[in-house]
Amino acid sequence: MGCIEVICGSMFSGKTEELIRRLKRAQFAKQKIEIFKPTVDKRYSDLDVVSHDLHKIPCTPIKDPARMLNVAADVEVVGVDEAQFFDESLVQVCQTLANRGVRVIVAGLDTDYLGKPFGPIPGLMAIAEDVQKVHAICVRCGNLANHSHRLSRSKKLVVLGEKDVYEPLCRECFNKAMAEGPENA
């Protein structure tokens, strides 16, 4: 039975860790899996999906989500990491795979560094059978964090980085940081 599952939240919230956990459980159940990530994400590895805790699973890096439609007919589970970096066509690709009977598990940021909906994630959340929003811990106050606050002054939508470029913040700390500007972050 096909379905779409979305794992979303801020940076450092455990999205990739949860994706890997679900995919490894599918492997343990002897289901055939295929995993994809955008070619732009080279932070830890070119050919693996890697969590911040350095757990990993092999994947196929792709530029165009349509390539996912070429999975073998016996693939039962498709995983997608860093989905926010794909274009809106990812929504229809996931829908097509799910309609074929594939379980599609997608992980990605739901909002960008400005706190606005990011890429195809909102569209995927709307059509998914299951959405799990995971949270980091705010590095300033200790509350649940749901924002990825960028520490640099870059205005580019996509800036790859780790703790040197982003920090997880709760709503209150994020709003304060945005009002103060990056020079006071």
- DSSP E strands in the chain: the ranges are 3-9, 33-38, 48-50, 56-58, 60-62, 77-80, 103-109, 130-134, 136-137, 144-145, 147-150, 166-169
Indicate the DSSP class of residue 164. Answer: T
CA neighbours within 13 Å on the CB side: how many for 128? 22
Q: Which residues are catalytic?
A: 82
Question: How far apart, in whole angstroms, are the C-alpha atoms of residue 24 and residue 5?
Answer: 15
